[in-house]
């Protein structure tokens, strides 16, 4: 019960981060360079949590078939989502609500919530670090979502309602995953953690960093990735 309370607390923080990031982008659209810095930093944070916290927990048990099943399923799902849900090229006018794009973001948030929930099942420290990393990611994702909606002339009211719905999704996903997966055997937990590892790597390499490189780059912008990675390396173990 105490662990579930921690999940609810950090899930609320993550959901709030998405909302705040989105509202900031609605009120004051960030420049391309600043958005790239945020995305690089978030990618570095998530890579660091994967390397320092999530991967060692998986390798400590190191049952090959469990890792292959979980990691393979994660890669297969993310590739399938990319294939079936990736939006077609936008028309020149870029008008209308971007349903396909929001669907992809919703799936990403669902995965983030599950990863957060199973992180707390693995351990409070791992869950906390994952929650903080995901909160930073969601702040950047909220900004990106709001910016995308604004570029398609979506009304402010619709954009805010969309952000609220996405924030609720990540909260419910985190709490439900912690509750439903709390009593599963260690073997299944490692499969789920390996699945989450694959999903996180996919989100970073195929979404955050790809989006971060859309604008012009500089050594300072690239350094934000390593700053995010270093931040969690320096935290006490």
Could you please report the per-residue DSSP string of the chain? -HHHHHHHHHHHHHHHHHHHHHHHHHHSPPPHHHHHHHHHHHHHHHHHHIIIIIHHHHHHH--HHHHHHHHHHHHHHHHHHHHHHSPPPPPTT--S--HHHHHHHHHHHHHHHHHHHHHHHH-HHHHHHHHHHHHHHHHHHHHHHHHHHHHTT--HHHHHHHHHHHHHHHHHHHHHHHHHSTT--HHHHHHHHHHHHHHHHHHIIIIIHHHHTSS---HHHHHHHHHHHHHHHSS--
pLDDT at 67: 92
What percent of the chain is predicted at pLDDT more than 70?
92
Say which range, 19-28, 160-169, 196-205, 217-226, has the weakest mean pLDDT: 196-205
Say yes or no to pLDDT of 1 above 80.
no
Average pLDDT of span 56-70: 87
pLDDT at 150: 78
Q: How far apart are CA 16 and CA 204, in angstroms?
A: 21
Average pLDDT of span 85-113: 69
pLDDT at 85: 67
Furthest CA-CA distance within the chain:
53
What percent of the chain is predicted at pLDDT more than 90?
20
Segment of 9-18, 140-149, 202-211 carrying the highest mean pLDDT: 9-18
Question: Using 50, 70 and 90 to split pLDDT, how confident is the model at 87?
Answer: low
Question: Using 50, 70 and 90 to split pLDDT, how confident is the model at 95?
Answer: low
Average pLDDT of span 57-81: 88
pLDDT at 165: 95
| Average model confidence (pLDDT) across the chain | 82
Rounded to the nearest 10 degrees, what angle do helices 124-151 and 2-27 cross at?
A: 20
**If you compute the radius of gyration of the chain from its CA atoms, what whole number of angstroms results?**
17
Say yes or no to pLDDT of 225 above 90.
yes
Instruction: Pick the more confident residue, 163 or 199.
Output: 163
Q: Which tens digits make up the pLDDT trace of 128-172?
A: 877 887 888 788 888 878 877 876 778 889 899 999 999 999 999
pLDDT at 92: 41
Say yes or no to pLDDT of 19 above 90.
yes
């Amino acid at each position: 019960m105490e662990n579930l309370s921690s999940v609810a607390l950090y899930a609320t923080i993550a959901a709030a981060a998405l909302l705040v990031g989105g509202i900031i982008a609605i009120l004051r659209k960030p420049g391309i360079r600043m958005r790239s810095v945020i995305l690089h930093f978030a990618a570095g944070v998530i890579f660091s949590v994967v390397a320092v916290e999530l991967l060692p927990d998986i390798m400590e048990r190191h049952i090959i078939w469990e890792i292959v099943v979980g990691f393979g399923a994660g890669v297969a799902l993310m590739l399938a989502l990319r294939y079936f849900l990736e939006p077609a090229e936008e028309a020149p006018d870029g008008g209308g609500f971007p349903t396909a794009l929001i669907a992809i973001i919703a799936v990403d948030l669902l995965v983030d919530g599950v990863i957060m929930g199973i992180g707390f099942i693995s351990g409070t420290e791992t869950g906390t670090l994952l929650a903080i990393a995901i909160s930073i990611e969601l702040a950047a994702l909220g900004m990106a979502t709001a910016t995308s909606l604004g570029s398609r002339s979506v009304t402010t009211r619709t954009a805010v309602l969309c952000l609220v719905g996405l924030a609720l999704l990540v909260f419910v996903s985190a709490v439900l995953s912690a509750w439903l997966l709390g009593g599963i055997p260690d073997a299944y937990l490692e499969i789920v953690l390996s699945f989450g590892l694959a999903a996180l790597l996919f989100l970073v390499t195929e979404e955050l960093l790809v989006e971060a490189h859309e604008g012009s780059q500089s050594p300072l912008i690239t350094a934000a990735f390593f700053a995010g990675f270093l931040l969690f390396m320096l935290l006490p173990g």
